[in-house]
């Protein structure tokens, strides 16, 4: 008869391994349900809005706003370029996606993506795009120091041959720039 003689610390080692394996298991989900809590407020009531407005007015009492949000002077604002491009590419007839956004300084050099520069230092943007048909496209927006604020160049197709779609892209971008310009916003980057 043969038997295996275990070291006397073997049970302790097995117990440690069992504890480690149990502790290293998959964590439970952070959210157990996608349902909202029943007491959670989704919208502010009129009384809540009035209370918040009164609190803000008491803080600002006796002071005048230096740069209140207002529509863009002349109807266009340079700081609206990126959101206008994001909305323009989704317009019917344009139907593209922004693949990459390059920011350029006044010398035409690409500004590092991680660098923090004010919008006034950015001279232009190049938006690399893909159409829904997987064709390359590009929208170049250059800053101008006059009331027109910007100028655009658009190309669509591997050989830049889809002139109609490029013109639709330019028109959609211009439409979105004017729509954003009508909205109240901060006009720190006026040319």
- What does the alpha-carbon distance between residue 121 and residue 119 come to, in Å, rounded to a whole number? 5
In 3D space, the residue among 171, 164, 187 whose CA is nearest the CA of residue 84 turns out to be: 171
Domain that holds residue 113: 74-182
127: β partners: 101, 139
Q: Specify if 1 maps to a domain.
A: no
As for how many domains the chain has, the answer is 1
Q: Specify if 164 maps to a domain.
A: yes
Q: Specify if 114 maps to a domain.
A: yes
Q: Specify if 30 maps to a domain.
A: no
- What does the alpha-carbon distance between residue 139 and residue 172 come to, in Å, rounded to a whole number? 11
In order along its 191 residues, the chain shows pLDDT tens digits of: 555 666 666 677 777 667 766 666 666 665 555 555 555 666 888 999 999 999 988 888 888 877 788 898 889 999 899 999 999 999 998 999 999 999 888 766 767 654 555 555 678 899 999 999 999 999 999 998 888 899 999 999 998 888 999 999 999 999 999 999 999 888 755 44
Q: Specify if 174 maps to a domain.
A: yes
């Amino acid at each position: 008869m043969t038997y295996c003689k275990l070291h006397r610390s073997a049970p302790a080692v097995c117990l440690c391994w069992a504890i480690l394996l149990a502790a290293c298991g998959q964590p439970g989900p952070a959210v157990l349900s996608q349902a909202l809590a029943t007491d959670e407020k989704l919208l502010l009531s009129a009384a809540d809005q009035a209370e918040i407005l009164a609190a803000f007015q008491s803080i600002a009492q006796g002071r005048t706003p230096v740069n209140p949000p207002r529509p863009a002077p002349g109807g266009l604002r340079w700081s609206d370029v990126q959101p206008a491009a994001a909305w323009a590419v989704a317009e019917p007839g344009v139907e593209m996606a922004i693949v990459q956004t390059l920011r350029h300084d006044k010398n035409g050099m690409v500004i590092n993506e991680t660098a923090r520069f004010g919008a006034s230092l950015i001279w232009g943007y190049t938006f690399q795009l893909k159409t829904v048909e997987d064709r390359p496209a590009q929208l170049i927006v250059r800053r101008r120091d006059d009331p027109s604020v910007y100028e655009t160049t658009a190309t669509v197709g591997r050989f830049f041959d889809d002139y109609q779609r490029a013109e639709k892209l330019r028109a959609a971008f211009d439409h979105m720039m004017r729509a954003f310009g009508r909205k109240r916003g901060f006009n720190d980057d006026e040319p």
